[in-house]
Amino acid sequence: MFDLSGKLALVTGSVAGLGKAMAIALARQGATVILNGRSDEHLADTQREFTELGLTAHTACFDTGDLDAAAKRLKTINQDIGAIDILINNVGYRDRKSVQEFAIGDMEKMLTRNLSAPFELSRLLAPSMMSKGWGRIINISSVVASIASDGDATYVTAKGGLESLTRALAVEYGKAGVTVNAISPGFFLTDPNLHLAKDESLNKWLAGRTILGRWAKPEELAGAAVFLASNASSYITGQTIQVDGGMSARL
């Protein structure tokens, strides 16, 4: 049920963190993975790691926030590697500050990277999925899409929009055999969060706020990604799976 042999998967932002963990998990289930990032050097390093693990991966260097460049790169991927079966829109952008600290136009940058880019990538790749009668689109949201945090209004707004987009695309593409779902991570120990993990007051709060009482490891998101990418989830679409240690389930 979880076999992904013969499938081609693009995971955006997959040189590190959650994206890398999900890419490794898909490859271990037999998928050929296309790694994405903005640095050829970092992509080459990650590709070597895949080779050392005995996994197959290609690289695609482009900035998902540059919509024109992304569209051009997807066209070359289709020509040089093949039609993508699985898309994981993982790249996100965050700028924590209060609403009043934002200047006019700052929201546009937030929405471009967190909402417009997943929309465009999905729109561009969906036709080939629909023509085959099979496809998977997985959007990476955040627990703050449903429980807002202070000083984070633009990110909260963008991720809330991404979950709405997930439902809309599911309705649009479902009859053609393409499912669209989202994963909503909670507090994960990725590189940008390592400094936060040293904050004892935050750790104490997290221990009480989540049911499982701890930070998550990046690989703990991988199971949900494999599930939604595989035939095991063939009758699930338009849904958001919370992978947050129970944070969204308690007061």
Average pLDDT, the chain: 94
Q: Which two tokens stand for residue 146?
A: 């449903």
- Taking 3-state DSSP, the helix, strand and coil percentages for the chain, each rounded to the nearest 5, stand at 50, 15, 35
Q: Which sign, positive or negative, has the C-alpha torsion 206, 154, 180, 61?
A: negative
Q: Tens digit of pLDDT for each residue in 127-143?
A: 999 999 999 999 999 99
Q: Check residue 204 and give its pLDDT.
A: 94
Q: Check residue 13 and give its pLDDT.
A: 97
Q: Check residue 194 and give its pLDDT.
A: 85
pTM of the model as a whole: 0.95
Q: Check residue 52 and give its pLDDT.
A: 97
Percent of the chain with pLDDT over 90: 83
Average pLDDT over residues 79-85: 97
Q: Which two tokens stand for residue 190?
A: 């990725």
Domains and CATH numbers, the chain: 8-249 (3.40.50.720)
CA distance readout (Å), 234 to 6, 50, 73, 131? 17, 28, 29, 17
Q: Check residue 169 and give its pLDDT.
A: 98
Residue 15's closest CA among 24, 25, 6? 24
Q: Check residue 27 and give its pLDDT.
A: 98
Residue 155 among the catalytic residues: yes
CA dist 154 and 148 (Å) reads 10
- Cα dihedral 244, 249, 250, 251, rounded to 10, equals 100
Of the residues 93, 155, 173, 235, only one is catalytic, namely: 155
Q: Check residue 245 and give its pLDDT.
A: 97
- pLDDT exceeds cutoff 90 at 8: yes
Q: Check residue 96 and give its pLDDT.
A: 75
Q: Tens digit of pLDDT for each residue in 188-229?
A: 999 888 888 889 999 999 999 999 999 999 999 999 999 999
Q: What angle do CA 226, 178, 109 make, to 5 degrees?
A: 80
Q: Tens digit of pLDDT for each residue in 90-131?
A: 998 877 778 888 888 888 888 999 999 999 999 999 999 999
